[in-house]
Amino acid sequence: MFLNQTIRRNRELAETAFMLHQEGRILPDSYVVDVDAFLENARRLLHKAEENHIKLYFMLKQIGRNPYLAKALVELGYSGAVVVDYREGLVMMRHNIPIGNVGHLVQVPGALIKNMVAYGPEVMTVYSREKIMEIQAAAAELGRRQALMLRVYGDFDMIYSGQTAGFHLDELKETAIWIKTECPQLEIKGVTSFPCYLYDETARDVLPTRNLETVKCAVEILKTCGVDVTLVNTPSATCCHTIDKMVEFGGNCGEPGHGLSGTTPMHAEHDLEEIPAVVYVSEVSHNFMGNAYCFGGGHYRRSHVKHVLVGKSLKDSRDLTVIPPTDESIDYHFGISEECTVGDTAVMAFRFQIFVTRSDVALVKGIRKGCPEIIGIYDSQGRKKEEF
């Protein structure tokens, strides 16, 4: 999906990936992150957001919940992380990373509510009264106030499978009044839905979804019951280009994830401000009945992977077609359209979600300067590994 763009815009990253694997410094099933490019993308995004008075929480699930990158982003000036689930929240808490938003897409379970409230996230996203009551009880016990973000939905909104939740617009006013009267430790600070912006392949542009209109309607409903919403959170596809769309169509809070690595769907077809900063590295394992097979472990069903470069260096590599495993199968291997030399490096660039894989994450700096240095190798959940 991103292979051509990566070779054209960050060739040194691909060259480094071949070199590190051929030298035995990384194992197959490793994502290689160009840390300098990643952080430069982050700087551009933050500058663009600040110019337009838009708040950003960084999202790192897709790059393996990495604490090193989280600390670097805080040092750049990001106010905190948006953690997609409670496990990611625990990673950030262990490394003293400020949490901007927790609970969206996955709520905090009861056993962790008190610890999370004590940690002090800027907002906790909620979509059930039961969860709100748990947060109220914990905040009361701790003697502190906690801000909430309400996830909302309308009749015709897009909701992905596995993410179905929210307060319907018809029940929002009643819910807000209940929070104001029955939950004295809590205050409503924001509203959100997902996704609010998406890349449209026909229009070849990022466009607002129906969900955005629902969020804007929610803000107006809350005004009628005395709630001043300060965070209009409109996530998905957040990058510099999408910030322009937020200025035009609405939203004052974004959550860059793939924007940080230059790998949103729009980045595959356009030269945006962010450059690709991640490649996937494997190794040819064997040949079978006319096809080569390289080690798997990092496949994501929505990856749109199509091509792989196979060889001992980028210069001498062949551009071949990937045969991904079927959706019902474990990704022990990726198929390749032709037989290859066993032991050769295989480099791909596709849409990834590292936190749902079993891959390594190799953070590398100095790539553009011609002196690549491995900062560290982590697992897919942000734990640093001993280099083998």
Q: Cα separation of 5 and 264, whole Å?
A: 12
| 144 φ, ψ (degrees, to nearest 5) | -140, 165
pLDDT, residue 387, reads: 63
159-207 pLDDT tens trace: 999 999 999 999 999 999 999 999 999 999 999 999 999 999 999 999 9
pTM of structure: 0.96
CB atoms within 10 A of CB 291: 17
CB atoms within 10 A of CB 351: 18
346-366 pLDDT tens trace: 999 999 999 999 999 999 999
Q: Cα separation of 196 and 226, whole Å?
A: 25
pLDDT, residue 108, reads: 98
pLDDT, residue 388, reads: 56
How deeply is 202 buried, as exposed, middle or buried, from its count of CB atoms within 10 A (0-12, 13-18, 19+)?
Answer: exposed
Percentage of the residues of the chain whose pLDDT score is greater than 70: 99
| Residue located via tokens 């999906």 | 1
Point out which residues pair with 281 in neighbouring strands.
30, 347
Q: Cα separation of 212 and 157, whole Å?
A: 9
Report the residue count for the chain: 388
Mean pLDDT of 11-25: 98
- CB of 246 within 8 A of CB of 254? yes
Percentage of the residues of the chain whose pLDDT score is greater than 90: 97
Mean pLDDT of 49-60: 98
What domains are there in the chain, each with its CATH number? 2-34+272-377 (2.40.37.30), 36-260 (3.20.20.10)
